Structure 1
């Protein structure tokens, strides 16, 4: 055990020595990177570390943080039933809108890649429009409004199908079935655009060489040529898909209300917003943020391992 530890320490020392030598040799390059590094550390790394520290405290902004150890985490996992509901809802949204949205975005990008330029431009705009307009959910709010002024309720009443408005966004039995497809459509944009750009950047000569080497159909072309060439875009799309899936907050709050009926549309970020900006319990909110951060990192690692197998 001691020998393994000594080897590990020696390996780390060698890595640090190599890093120092690399910095000295390429100091001009590192100087150019310095402004971005300072901004990244100041506005990303330090706030993250500060949030992790506050997650072990009782902190309400106005008073000095009081260190309480892991109490926030114990309360979060053992006593907070609303957080349990938020976790279930978040993972339900993530499982449906994450992988499904990711796969749909790639399939649509792949299918329209061979379309004429003007048609492709219209389709890209249709998918990317929700990402451009962050308030697209207001259209759906009007469409599924619970009173008789809602477009869908008015249509159903005029057709004689219903006698009373359907509570699309208030009834917990119906609400998530309405909200999840809306979130799915609004999450397609960024990943879809990156896939379109990646497909257009693949050298056509590779396809010609592939058919010479024995590729016989479009599926083999996709697996052995398209996907390996698009690994950076696939990873970017996966990260954006995970981030958007776990970061759902505004759509559910605007459509289902804040708080929603029986917390049926509660998500982890909504729970974080509640404790951080409504109750000002920043220590507890920081614990929620830390759990969410670690979950997203774990999911990203899993996605990276899966993507590394593509084309192998």
Structure 2
């Protein structure tokens, strides 16, 4: 085993040398912090005192005593289950449709679809639309057409907060995954479609299932990782639209709970336990989705 590893290192030494800077940065800024966070999750640490070992106490407190965390966990799953699959499918469908257009139109449409995910003032527009007075665009339209007779407090009424935030998140979700799908569709070998026609592929749906999707597995897996990460790590939309904290924690997520204990209360041991739970959730779901995607086209 050691001899085989040594032989591989010698044979591919130039490749490993090129990878070394990235691996070093990845270990220092990803692996080490994750391991440190997991270790701190078993301690009481407030940044002023040296960490004190408390074992499983933080996790017991998290699941058995912290009612707000349970609300955050439920909200996070609702956001992830709705926004994750819908945005993932939407990214692929829009990428596929835009890929069929001429190069100039494709470039313009790609920019138009991607722009919202990088716009800095996008929340201001949505806050205007869902403003809780008669000057809000949604309220103004509904009142003008007789659907309602007084303004709806969209962002301060518990039953409306979740749908509004889900809508905004879906609109912002055409980001990196969308670009990855566009790139993947552009790089599919066109001779595969000719070979498929010879082998019996007769329509566009069969082309997509037996040729397009299998050829895009790396991009599909990358997109799945990005969409799962963004849906489970959602915090900016919730805090910008509904405030922090939101009314009755209606928009509270695991990440906002983590921000509360890590950035405001400075209970770093407890915050680390929240981060560890989120990490395990995201890793488990990512592995499950990647296993599912490996079966596409088989």
| TM-score bracket, shorter-length normalisation | over 0.9
CA RMSD of aligned residues (A): 1.5
Q: Distance in 2 between matches of 1:31 and 1:106?
A: 36
Find the counterpart in structure 2 of residue 224 from structure 1. Answer: 210
Find the counterpart in structure 2 of residue 88 from structure 1. Answer: 74
TM-score (norm 1): 0.91
More divergent stretch after superposition (254-263 vs 116-125): 116-125
Where do 5+ consecutive residues of structure 2 fail to align? none
CA-CA distance at 1:99 after TM superposition? 0.8
CA-CA distance at 1:236 after TM superposition? 0.7
Find the counterpart in structure 2 of residue 195 from structure 1. Answer: 181
Find the counterpart in structure 1 of residue 62 from structure 2. Answer: 76
Find the counterpart in structure 2 of residue 255 from structure 1. Answer: 241
Corresponding residue pairs, total: 298
Find the counterpart in structure 1 of residue 114 from structure 2. Answer: 128
More divergent stretch after superposition (195-204 vs 20-29): 20-29
Q: Distance in 2 between matches of 1:122 and 1:26?
A: 42
- Residue 46 of structure 2: SS of its match in structure 1? coil
Where do 5+ consecutive residues of structure 1 fail to align? 1-13
Find the counterpart in structure 2 of residue 311 from structure 1. Answer: 297
Find the counterpart in structure 2 of residue 3 from structure 1. Answer: none
CA-CA distance at 1:135 after TM superposition? 4.0
Structure 1 residue 300 corresponds to structure 2 residue 292: no
Structure 1 residue 286 corresponds to structure 2 residue 272: yes
Find the counterpart in structure 2 of residue 238 from structure 1. Answer: 224
Find the counterpart in structure 1 of residue 44 from structure 2. Answer: 58
CA-CA distance at 1:208 after TM superposition? 1.5
Structure 1 residue 269 corresponds to structure 2 residue 252: no
CA-CA distance at 1:60 after TM superposition? 0.7
TM-score (norm 2): 0.95
Q: CA 1:88 to 1:224, structure 2 compared with 1: closer, same or farther past 3 Å? A: same
More divergent stretch after superposition (67-76 vs 173-182): 173-182
* Structure 2 residue corresponding to 1:184, chosen from 170, 179, 189: 170
- Residue 154 of structure 2: SS of its match in structure 1? coil
Q: Distance in 1 between matches of 2:271 and 2:121?
A: 26
Q: Distance in 1 between matches of 2:133 and 2:268?
A: 37
